[in-house]
Structure 1
Amino acid sequence: MSPKKSKKNNNHITQVLFDQNNGLYVEDYFTEVLSNERKRTERTKRPFLLMLLDIERFQRVKRKDEVFKDIASVLFSSTREIDVKGWYKHDSIIGVLFTEMNGTDKTSLREKIHGNLSGVLGKEFTNRIEISLYIFPQEDGSIKLDSASHLYPDLEKKNNSRKGALLFKRFIDVIGSIAGLIIFSPLLLIIPLLIKLTSKGDVFFRQERIGQYGERFTFLKFRTMYINNDPKVHQEYINKFILEQKSYDTNEKKGNKDEVFKIKDDPRVTFVGKYLRKTSLDELPQFLNVLKGEMSIVGPRPPVPYEVKIYDIWHKRRLMGVKPGITGLWQTRGRSSTTFDEMVRLDIRYIIGWSVWLDIKIILLTPWVVLIGKGAY
């Protein structure tokens, strides 16, 4: 390649990757780097820090481009060369990705950046900038789900690009839930009577669950267990299953493919409850969760809070992309006989490859899986 062509190509790459006004990486490239860094951390457990500077208030300033250039200049002089500086949201939020923490203190870092900006812009201008910091994962290895959406701008972009399809998904949810409540209305009357006649306690089982981006909601099911059960039994089972069961590959080698979440031949389950679980009729009240917008007909199953506490970092990706659902890929691939890691991988595969047609396919497959009772107990 001739020197002229090489120089031309380099100039083209520079124009594609960098904002020519201030030297920051363009939004698409910065969010791609953030996504790759997040995936690296999921494997290595080595944390990174994301700093976001909200400069939305400068949109109406006459010398806007000059102010942005000054802010970028301060960031370049105040951070290391290995730290990635770019547009998190073009002309609105600047991001700085600190890829190697090495004991970096969030408070001192914020104060340093704020002080350096004040020296160039003045206190009045600097106080208009909202600086927020997000560590992935936290020092204890956890992820703050209520702020995790900031670390997944790639998913937000993907959802923005398919808003029409997501609106249609919501349309299917509403129409499908109403239709489900009407079609199953005789059972919605009979099942509560059977529950009341055969065991003491409320007809419904209510439990706090974790939805998209960590939003909590009250999950509904028909009660299938006797009352006054010790919730620690299920919690201990979940802990044992997730922490001691290694991965899908390990289970395959051992010939041990343990069930997810439901304990086989559980003595706490009532006579009626066994049939409700076998046929998944205990899930019917979740149509109400769907109508309220807390769930979708198709999506990952919503976990309980104590389950999420012991998730590995990569497991939490299943909570980020879409709302939780009544049915999903893993239910159509064996339901409760699916291993935990396999279930998470199927959920992530669903999130990445989601389409309206995939939802329709899963909805059509679910009755067949329920009828043959595969993996249900």
Structure 2
Amino acid sequence: MKAMGGEALRRASKQRMFGTRGWARKYEARLFLTDVVVVALVMVGAHAVRFGWDPFVGVTGDDSPAYWQVTVIVAALWVLQLGWTRSREALVLGHGPQEFQRVLLASWHTFTIVAIVGFLTQWHVSRGYLLFAIPLGTIALAVYRAAWRAWMHTQRDRGELLAQVIVVGPMLTSQQLIRRIQRSPRAGYSVIGACLPAGHRFVDEDMQDVPLLGTLDEAAEVAKREDAEYVLLSGTDAMSLRESRQLGWELEGTDIGLIVAPAMVDVAGPRVSMSPVEGLPLLHVDIPRFEGGKYYLKEIGDRLAAFTLLALGALPMLVVAALIKITSPGPVFFRQERIGRDHEPFAMLKFRSMYVDAEKRLEELRERQRAEGNEVLFKMKDDPRVTSIGRLLRRFSVDEVPQLINVLKGDMSIVGPRPPLRSEVDQWDDARVARRQLVKPGITGLWQVSGRSDLSWDESVRLDLYYTENWSLAGDAIIVLRTVGAILFGRGAY
């Protein structure tokens, strides 16, 4: 079967992903070089801060090396750990938290190995030296990796650095998968066509530009003919186990990868494990739990962080309060009822960014303009109810700072789902949406770092549900770092 209408494929990327000249190898090489430079600078800086510029200062202990040797060894070990944890692997670059999680893991492994060697040899490596180098180095690695990721996003927005994919499987699941890929071009995949069961074709209007290249039986030949880099199997409903295995065999030796999308979606890696049974790779998915040790750790960490930030930010908050009071009449704080964990209401605090009659004018504005594709949330660009100072506070999310008081009280978390209004909860007509309230709402969250006010209602719900069931302490740390970037660049804030 030929492509629909005989149209030529419009390939997004001119470069292939893999191969000796592929963009993946070039990008990994750049990361390796910058890893070496950053780690070397950090380790030399730590040595200089702790011991000055004397390279021959010795480590305390029998037959101990000089600190310049420790600096070289730790730097080399750190760079190797960044490779061993696969933090430079092309499949995790540019999208999701895995790259940063692996950077953190490499730093932890480095610190652990040095501590164990010091214990076994009785070499007393300076704790100040290590405590300066490892945390600072980890932050530096994360910052420059974020800069590389921003560059990659720019390239992918232009249609470069993408892997060419052909989607193979039943029509409905293929459509859903293609839509998700098209919504996330920064994930690094470009759908160049599809293979469906014989006699089937896409009927939805938004699928008309996806060429139908062949049937399921022809998938391997189509992938070779179209020079695809991956065949993405969207489901096995229309294929037997033997046919799925046959597809893998036909792709052997072609440099075309096979990706299998499981039927279970929006489940994070920590909840998934695999066990082979009679040649079948069975995915085990842990049932989400909403209590236990990690929740107690999150609670303690939230309150300590809130207390520290409030203490450090007391003076700037007083300045903001004065500006609000001077520029428009009314209270400094805006209190609004929100729905928290287990549907318990609480009064959420913000710096007031609107005129005092904002709530009275809400219905009038709701009728005039709704956010595009959003039937529940009300968000308006250039909202006339916002004060001049309020617009600045909102752009950089300064109006959210008083929510740290809510965190200290236990109503909210630093990271969590968006806290909904009661009016929004009353409009929920899907039982799954209420699962967002199984955890505490957060000041920031996946919704914050994925578009904020630019998100549609359905996308906001999907992100909040994903977080509710899959959150982790490491994931929270990544979200906080991404939040800083979202705030600095004011993405989706109005």
TM-score by length of 2: 0.40
1:91 aligned partner = none
- Whichever residue aligns with residue 343 of structure 1, its letter is S
2:373 aligned partner = 245
2:483 aligned partner = 366
Q: Report how far residue 319 of structure 1 moved.
A: 3.1
- Whichever residue aligns with residue 338 of structure 1, its letter is L
CA gap of 1:334–1:245, structure 2 versus 1, over 3 A, is closer
- Larger RCO: 1 or 2 (CA < 8 Å, sep 6+): 1
CA–CA distance in structure 2, aligned partners of residues 281 and 261 of structure 1: 20
Q: Report how far residue 321 of structure 1 moved.
A: 2.2
CA–CA distance in structure 1, aligned partners of residues 367 and 432 of structure 2: 14
1:168 aligned partner = 297
**Counterparts of 1:140-289 in structure 2 under 5 Å?**
158-160=289-291, 163-231=292-360, 233=362, 237=366, 241=370, 245=373, 261-289=378-406
**1:213–1:319 Cα contact (<8 Å) kept:** no
- Whichever residue aligns with residue 173 of structure 1, its letter is D
Gaps of 5+ in 1: 1-154, 248-258
2:71 aligned partner = none
Q: Report how far residue 315 of structure 1 moved.
A: 5.3
CA–CA distance in structure 1, aligned partners of residues 425 and 367 of structure 2: 10
Q: Which moved more, 1:326-335 or 1:223-232?
A: 223-232
SS in 1 for 2:334: strand
SS in 2 for 1:159: coil
**Alignment RMSD:** 2.8
**2:353–2:386 Cα contact (<8 Å) kept:** yes
**2:288–2:470 Cα contact (<8 Å) kept:** no
SS in 1 for 2:491: coil
**Does structure 1 residue 319 correspond to structure 2 residue 436?**
yes
**1:192–1:203 Cα contact (<8 Å) kept:** yes
| Alignment counterpart, residue 345 of structure 1, candidates 455, 462, 466 | 462
The percent identity for this pair of structures is 45
Q: Report how far residue 269 of structure 1 moved.
A: 0.6
**Counterparts of 1:97-112 in structure 2 under 5 Å?**
none
**1:238–1:261 Cα contact (<8 Å) kept:** no
Q: Report how far residue 325 of structure 1 moved.
A: 0.5
**1:208–1:216 Cα contact (<8 Å) kept:** yes
Q: Report how far residue 186 of structure 1 moved.
A: 2.3
SS in 2 for 1:229: coil
CA gap of 1:230–1:167, structure 2 versus 1, over 3 A, is closer
**1:335–1:374 Cα contact (<8 Å) kept:** yes
CA–CA distance in structure 2, aligned partners of residues 188 and 345 of structure 1: 34
- Whichever residue aligns with residue 159 of structure 1, its letter is F
- Whichever residue aligns with residue 453 of structure 2, its letter is S
**Counterparts of 1:300-339 in structure 2 under 5 Å?**
300-314=417-431, 316-339=433-456
**2:418–2:447 Cα contact (<8 Å) kept:** no
CA–CA distance in structure 2, aligned partners of residues 186 and 278 of structure 1: 20
**2:436–2:464 Cα contact (<8 Å) kept:** no
CA–CA distance in structure 2, aligned partners of residues 246 and 334 of structure 1: 14
SS in 1 for 2:446: coil
Q: Report how far residue 263 of structure 1 moved.
A: 1.3
SS in 1 for 2:493: coil
CA–CA distance in structure 2, aligned partners of residues 216 and 341 of structure 1: 23
CA gap of 1:309–1:156, structure 2 versus 1, over 3 A, is farther
CA–CA distance in structure 1, aligned partners of residues 408 and 415 of structure 2: 13
- Whichever residue aligns with residue 347 of structure 1, its letter is D
Q: Report how far residue 159 of structure 1 moved.
A: 2.1
CA–CA distance in structure 2, aligned partners of residues 292 and 306 of structure 1: 24
- Whichever residue aligns with residue 371 of structure 1, its letter is L
Say how many residue pairs are matched: 210
CA gap of 1:263–1:246, structure 2 versus 1, over 3 A, is closer
TM-score by length of 1: 0.52
Q: Report how far residue 284 of structure 1 moved.
A: 0.6
**2:446–2:463 Cα contact (<8 Å) kept:** yes
CA gap of 1:234–1:362, structure 2 versus 1, over 3 A, is farther
1:100 aligned partner = none
- Whichever residue aligns with residue 473 of structure 2, its letter is V
CA–CA distance in structure 1, aligned partners of residues 357 and 311 of structure 2: 32
**1:239–1:310 Cα contact (<8 Å) kept:** no
- Whichever residue aligns with residue 315 of structure 2, its letter is P
1:355 aligned partner = 472
SS in 1 for 2:357: coil
CA–CA distance in structure 2, aligned partners of residues 374 and 157 of structure 1: 31
CA gap of 1:245–1:295, structure 2 versus 1, over 3 A, is same
SS in 2 for 1:158: coil
Q: Write out per-residue CA displacement over residues 203-237 of structure 1, whole angstroms, 9 at most, x where no aligned residue.
A: 00001111112100001000001112344516963
**2:302–2:407 Cα contact (<8 Å) kept:** yes
CA gap of 1:169–1:239, structure 2 versus 1, over 3 A, is farther
**2:416–2:444 Cα contact (<8 Å) kept:** yes
Q: Write out per-residue CA displacement over residues 136-164 of structure 1, whole angstroms, 9 at most, x where no aligned residue.
A: xxxxxxxxxxxxxxxxxxx997123xx11
Q: Report how far residue 246 of structure 1 moved.
A: 6.7
Q: Report how far residue 367 of structure 1 moved.
A: 0.8
- Whichever residue aligns with residue 446 of structure 2, its letter is L
CA–CA distance in structure 1, aligned partners of residues 403 and 363 of structure 2: 21
CA gap of 1:275–1:237, structure 2 versus 1, over 3 A, is same
CA gap of 1:246–1:261, structure 2 versus 1, over 3 A, is closer
Q: Report how far residue 289 of structure 1 moved.
A: 0.3
**Counterparts of 1:25-40 in structure 2 under 5 Å?**
none
**2:374–2:457 Cα contact (<8 Å) kept:** no
